[in-house]
Amino acid sequence: MPIGNRTAYGVLAALVIAYPLVPGAADRTTGALSHWGTVCAVASLAVFVFGVVRNRPASRTPWVGLGAFLVLWMLGDLAYDLAGTHPVLSPADGFYVAGAVAGIAALLAMNQRRLVDAPRDALIESGMVALIAAIAAWLFIVEYAIDAGGPALGALGRSVVVFYPLVNVVALFLVARLLFSGGRNIAALLLGAAFICGLAADGAYAYFQQMGSFSDANVVAADTLWLAMYALIAAATLHPSMVSLTEPTRGSSTRTSWQLATAGIALLAIPTLFAAAGLLGHTLHTIEFFLASATVIPLVLWRLLHLHRWVTATHDQLERREHYFRQLAQQSSDSYFVLDEQGIIRDMSPGATRMLGVHDDVHGQQLTAVVGDDGEHLATALAGIRTLAGMSTTVEAPLPGSDGSIRWIEARATNMLDDATVRGIVVNVHDISLRKHALAEVERQSLHDPLTGLPNRALLRDRMERVLVRRRQHGNDVVVVFCGLDNFMDVNESLGHDRGDDVLRTVADRLVHAVASSDTIARLGGDEFAALIEVDDVNDQQAIELAESIRQAATSPIRLGGLSVAVTASVGVAIASADDANTVDDLLRIADSALAAAKARGRDQVVRYQPSMRQSDVVHMELADELRSAVARNELALHYQPIFDLSTGAIVGLEALARWNHPTRGLLPPRRFIPIAEQSGSIIDVGTWVLRRTCEAAATFDDNLLISVNLAPRQLRDPDIVATIRGLLDATGLEPSRLALELTESALIGNFDEAVTRLRAISRLGVKIAIDDFGVGFASIDYLRRFPTDILKIDASYVSSITEAGDVSALVRGLLGLGRTLDLITIAEGIETSPQLAALQREGCAYGQGFILERAVSEHQIRELLGTPPSPTV
Ligand code: C2E
Ligand code: MG
Ligand code: MG
């Protein structure tokens, strides 16, 4: 409540209380109400107006009506004062009657607005209040005034005597309706108090009129009560709750305790009022008592009947709800137990024991004992909350089922010992087996390879972690064996993925049987497996033997249906102690290096890790391994560098240069993989692909272009090389004379005669032979004579020796002269600067290639450069 309200209430109360108490305040010698009284009335009116303005009720009309009541009655007071004489009916009554009409209309309007949806039964309480007020008015005002006035009072006098108390009774009835419908409302209470004061004032006035003395205490009492009525109406208007008096209530009915209290007070009021009237010396009539009782008692009975019906209905409703919840509990998959403080079962839901797998009646037993061996978790949890009211705890426990399966329950215990309706520890039990099994399955799947069911890399790491911890504690040793199937891609491609999967499953199974059950076999992915073996003590030889047994298990032929599939395996071995590998990562890395080494060394073998297998070797080995499938995975590409006629500037040929679109390392230049391919043997596959692709593309290029392809030394040692080239020329229809094969001098090392024979055969096909990087090797002029050489490619290092001033060394001149002597086409490689280009032109070098002319570019770009439409095969 705002401070302003308290002050206003204080001022109003002080003014009213001071009126009878402060000497002279009630001095009426100058008028009916005295100056003090006028101040009091005007202050009430001011507070009333302030209240309406400040609280802003949505509907103002009823408040305007109430304000009119106040103003008219205050005017009535003024007229009464001014008149001097006081007949039964004076002009002042005109104001009072008009005010009464305005006041009643205002209260009716409030009723109409507030009680839109309110329950009708509040009429009973309002009726009782009005009846008691009416009985009091009759006994203390009307009957007394009529008796005292006697026949002289006349009909008009009697009407006046009846009218004012009646207005108060009706007003009280209307205020009671506001009060008993809807929630507690201070403004309505204050209004009720105001009209009780009004009624009392009527009584006091009746007395003083009969006594006929203005100086009588009755006069002061009547005035004080009237002023109190004004002040209380003002106070009601000032209170914020006045707003809801003109707004519809939410229809909440009056509390039962109020209804009973009102009925009791109404019953008691009859004898009390009659006794009081008797004490005051009023003549009492039996009929009055009878009529009073006959009107009030039925209302009280009606209320009691009403309450009885309500109690019965509420009881029924509660029973139905209890039944409803009991059904829910019975049908629910959850169960509950209610335990006493000692954990003894006092109550439980019907399916509760079934959930625990118990069939006997367990009432009166310890729940923890019923749960069995696993009850100790629950016992600890219950002990934890036993003394803590309102606390909850949740435990999960496994329960062995009768069929040997394990069921999981989740028990949530809540201490409700303090709750008057429960007075126990409530344990809600929920079967979480499904959730548990699902979680276990998810966990299993996340740690196992779905194809073979073997642990995956994550689980292997976890086990390695544990094994290494044990090694630190007990000093035993750990061997890690990585095993990769060598030709699994071929199996997949030739037999299909289903058969491929069968092979992997079979190998997995064999590996598991090749090691002790305490060891771990895991699938690392693709065709790679790992074995984690714990041994007391191991030397290199023993570890290799272990690995060898694993390799043999993987490699013995696999029967699939009617087929026998042979796979070979490369195996790498690492030993924690010997290789000084103390972490999981160390061990994994070195075992991987050893496996890569096994693959690089030609596969199908066991390789023990050596510290010399450093990272670069590892990369080398990885590349070697990946290169094997690069052709199949279509990762290779060709770039073309144009060869120019240095005198005309026209493009006369293209050199095809291989590139590898590595899936993780990006576009690799040939120096990164051609030597590896040569070492590992995959150069045959790579070289054949390059040849085929070049021939296909060349067939679609300009007829006059010479297409150069680099041929690795090892390709020349391939007995099938001539047949391959012939086949490709036939297949693509490429004119053989448009193809040139570039060989470095190193191609001629080794079996020289064989090389010469092959080159002659190739030359006979019509294909041109070029000596690449001429001048850096050991090729002698004698070689050039014996070889069917057509083209001499002068190595870039000679070209780079040409100075900025264009000085050409004697060596370069000699090489160019040699070409001319032997009638060979000379191509200068690696021309990077204009002086180099100019010098070569001056020296009569026929052709050249180099960055200053054009770099090696993609097939698409070279077509753009040549103006050739894209090949349909591209
Ligand atoms: P190469 O046969 O001597 O090829 C010429 C190399 O010199 C190309 O390098 C080319 O891009 C580069 N080059 C061209 N002009 C210039 C220049 O002005 N300055 C410099 N610094 N370099 C220039 P690329 O493509 O990296 O090839 C390197 C080598 O790899 C080739 O030398 C060749 O021996 C080999 N190679 C390329 N493709 C194949 C292939 O398909 N099979 C075989 N066996 N070897 C290949
Ligand atoms: Mg070349
Ligand atoms: Mg070269």
Q: Is 152 exposed, middle or buried (0-12, 13-18, 19+ CB in 10 A)?
A: exposed
Q: Cα torsion at 367, 371, 372, 376 (round to 10°)?
A: -70
The beta strand positions in 617-758, using DSSP E, are: 636-645, 651-662, 666-668, 706-710, 739-743
Q: How far is the CA of 823 from the centre of ligand 2 (A)?
A: 20
Q: DSSP for 346-384?
A: EEE-TTHHHHHT--S--TTSBHHHHHGGGHHHHHHHHHH
Question: Which residue, judged by its Cα, is nearest atom 11 of ligand 1?
Answer: 856
The per-residue pLDDT for range 584-631, each reduced to its tens digit, is 888 998 999 899 888 877 788 999 998 877 665 667 778 888 999 999
Question: Which residue, judged by its Cα, is nearest atom 34 of ligand 1?
Answer: 710
Question: Which residue, judged by its Cα, is nearest atom 6 of ligand 1?
Answer: 830
Which candidate, 16, 9, 10, 21, places its Cα nearest to that of 227?
Answer: 16
* Gap between the Cα atoms of 764 and 731, Å rounded: 18
pTM score: 0.45
Q: How far is the CA of 619 from the centre of ligand 1 (A)?
A: 22
Q: Averaged over 562-583, what is the pLDDT?
A: 87
Lowest mean pLDDT among 249-258, 396-405, 501-510, 801-810: 249-258
The beta strand positions in 499-602, using DSSP E, are: 520-525, 528-535, 558-560, 563-565, 569-575
Q: How far is the CA of 773 from the centre of ligand 1 (A)?
A: 10
Q: How far is the CA of 657 from the centre of ligand 1 (A)?
A: 6
* Gap between the Cα atoms of 511 and 530, Å rounded: 9
Contacts of 268 (CB under 8 A, 6+ apart): none
Ligand 1 atom with least separation from CA of 658: 38
Q: DSSP for 172-233?
A: HHHHHHHHHSSS--HHHHHHHHHHHHHHHHHHHHHHHHHHT-TTSHHHHHHHHHHHHHHHHH
Sign of CA dihedral 33, 38, 43, 48: positive
Ligand 1 atom with least separation from CA of 744: 34
The per-residue pLDDT for range 254-310, each reduced to its tens digit, is 677 888 888 999 999 999 999 988 887 777 888 988 999 999 999 899 889 988 998
Residues paired with 640 in a beta bridge: 656, 857
Residue type, 584: V
Q: Ligand 1 pocket test: which of 686, 689, 694, 710 has the largest number of ligand atoms within 8 Å of its C-beta?
A: 710
Question: Which residue, judged by its Cα, is nearest atom 7 of ligand 1?
Answer: 830
The percent of residues above 90 in pLDDT, for the chain, comes to 42
Sign of CA dihedral 49, 51, 54, 58: negative
The per-residue pLDDT for range 710-746, each reduced to its tens digit, is 999 889 988 999 999 999 999 999 999 999 999 987 6
Helices (H), 212-285: 217-238, 256-279
Does residue 370 surpass a pLDDT of 70? yes
Q: Averaged over 462-476, what is the pLDDT?
A: 91
Pick the ligand that lies closest to the CA of residue 773.
3
State the pLDDT at residue 348. 87
The per-residue pLDDT for range 772-827, each reduced to its tens digit, is 988 765 455 666 777 789 999 998 988 988 988 888 888 788 888 888 888 899 99
State the pLDDT at residue 252. 55
- Which strands sit side by side in the sheet containing 335-339, from one edge to the other? 345-348, 335-339, 424-431, 406-416, 392-400
State the pLDDT at residue 47. 93
In the structure encoding, which two tokens stand for residue 288, read together? 């009055």
Q: How far is the CA of 675 from the centre of ligand 1 (A)?
A: 13
Task: Output the ligand 1 site: residues, CB below 6 A.
Answer: 641, 657-658, 669-671, 674, 687, 690, 710-712, 742, 772-773, 796, 829-832, 849-851, 856
State the pLDDT at residue 733. 92
Pick the ligand that lies closest to the CA of residue 742.
2
Q: pLDDT-derived band of residue 874, with 50, 70 and 90 as boundaries?
A: very low
Q: In a 3-state reduction of DSSP, which class is residue 344? A: strand
Q: How far is the CA of 829 from the centre of ligand 1 (A)?
A: 9
**Mean pLDDT value across the chain:** 86
* Gap between the Cα atoms of 96 and 94, Å rounded: 6
* Count of residues in the chain: 874
Q: How far is the CA of 263 from the centre of ligand 1 (A)?
A: 114
State the pLDDT at residue 782. 62
Map tokens 């009390």 to a residue. 272
* Gap between the Cα atoms of 837 and 854, Å rounded: 12
Residues paired with 478 in a beta bridge: 534
Q: Ligand 1 pocket test: which of 646, 674, 689 has the largest number of ligand atoms within 8 Å of its C-beta?
A: 674
Residues paired with 477 in a beta bridge: 535
CA-based diameter of the chain, in Å?
Answer: 169
The per-residue pLDDT for range 17-44, each reduced to its tens digit, is 888 887 776 666 554 456 777 888 889 9
Ligand 1 atom with least separation from CA of 683: 44
Ligand 1 atom with least separation from CA of 669: 26
Q: How far is the CA of 639 from the centre of ligand 2 (A)?
A: 12
Helices (H), 661-712: 670-680, 683-698
